Amino acid sequence: MRFTNRGWLLVRGWTDRTLRSRGSAYRLALLPAFLPFVILAALDHVQTLSRSDWRWVAAAIWFVGWLMFVSWRFWRMLRETGLKGDRHYDREGKYDLPPEYAGSESATKAKRRQK
């Protein structure tokens, strides 16, 4: 269990750092996702394709799963950025605008109030 937890934290941390650094999203999305395909392509020229069909299916499942994981982490990062921006607007940002906006609230605060 400890190894799994440490592995999860390492993968999650690397994913989040890569998403936050600009211009490296292709590295995050493509390299780990295509790794099984590269390995299978190197190994498959020796074997017949019919014997290793299940490996290609497993590689495709890995590919889809990895892209879903990266998309989920990206969505969480966008949500976090939006919440931080809304909090900043509620605390400081609206007072930098003309006086009629001082009584306004962020979209997040209005949505929470309506619930």
- Residue 76's pLDDT is what? 92
- Residue 75's pLDDT is what? 92
Give 1-24 pLDDT, tens digit per residue. 566 788 888 888 888 888 888 766
Count of domains for the chain = 1
Give 54-111 pLDDT, tens digit per residue. 777 778 888 888 889 988 988 998 899 888 888 888 888 878 778 777 777 777 777 7
- Determine the structural domain holding residue 83 and report its residue range: 2-114
Rounded CA separation 55/35 (Å): 13
Residue 49 clears pLDDT 70, i.e. is over it: no
Per-position DSSP letters for 28-80, written without gaps between them: HHHHHHHHHHHHHHHHHTTS-GGGGHHHHHHHHHHHHHHHHHHHHHHHHHHHH
